[in-house]
Amino acid sequence: MKLVPDASGEIPREVVFKQLCKAFNKSPFFKHCGMKMRVEDGVIKGFVDMDANLVGNVAFQILHGGVAATILDSIGGIVAMGEIYLSGKGELVDRIRQVTRLATSDMRVDYLAPGRGKYFVATAEALRMGRKGCTMRMNLHNDENKLISTAIATYVY
């Protein structure tokens, strides 16, 4: 990912978000699942349309839990990366290194409602941004804005 700082030495928010989305949208498994990152209302969100390939159990026609886990893990990671870039803490080069190294340490997903819907939207918020790791909360809603699953994860960098 190429992130060129502006005159202030920082990278503008929109540029950071766009570049992160571009990078995630190239992730093979993310693409394989038909998922897409996009900036909406000034924040990064993950989108996935319901698809026959994503069903867990044909009898119920609901998303496989692994689909939710995949998009929740990804949205937590990308939003954390944005937070690191825009934190203004430390040198930009160090923040870029942290973003490159960022990896999920552990994640808990709670399945709250059956994964039914035309499409699903994943969002994330930072609960803790530490020097070596962070804690993120993620949510997955369907097209009727029903909360399908929620997750909490720690990422290390």
Q: Which residues bind a copy of itself (CB under 8 A)?
A: 26-30, 32-33, 52-58, 63-67, 69-71, 73-74, 103-113, 127-128, 130, 132-133, 135, 137, 147, 150, 152, 154, 156
Give the nearer residue to a copy of itself in terms of CB position, either 11 or 102: 102
State the Cα–Cα distance between residues 47 and 16, nearest whole angstrom. Answer: 19
Considering the complex, what minimum distance in angstroms separates the CB of residue 135 from a copy of itself?
5
CB of 43 to a copy of itself, least distance (A): 20
- Minimum CB distance to a copy of itself, residue 63 (Å): 8
Q: How far from the centroid of its chain's Cα atoms is residue 65's Cα?
A: 16
CB-wise, 10 or 104, nearer to a copy of itself? 104
Considering the complex, what minimum distance in angstroms separates the CB of residue 9 from a copy of itself? 26
Which among 34, 39, 69 is positioned nearest to 52, based on CA atoms? 34
Contact 48, 34 (CB under 8 A): yes
CB-nearer residue toward a copy of itself: 10 or 107: 107
- To a copy of itself, the closest distance from the beta carbon of 153 in angstroms equals 9
Q: Which of residues 57 and 145 has its CB atom nearest to a copy of itself in the complex?
A: 57
Instruction: Show the tokens assigned to 142.
Output: 């369907």
Q: Which residue has the tokens 């825009």?
A: 86
Burial 58-70 (b: 16+ CB within 10 A, else e): eeeebbeeebbbb
Instruction: Considering the complex, state which of residue 53 and residue 87 has its C-beta at the smaller distance from a copy of itself.
Output: 53
Cβ neighbors of 82 (< 8 A, separation 6 or more) are 16, 17, 20, 44
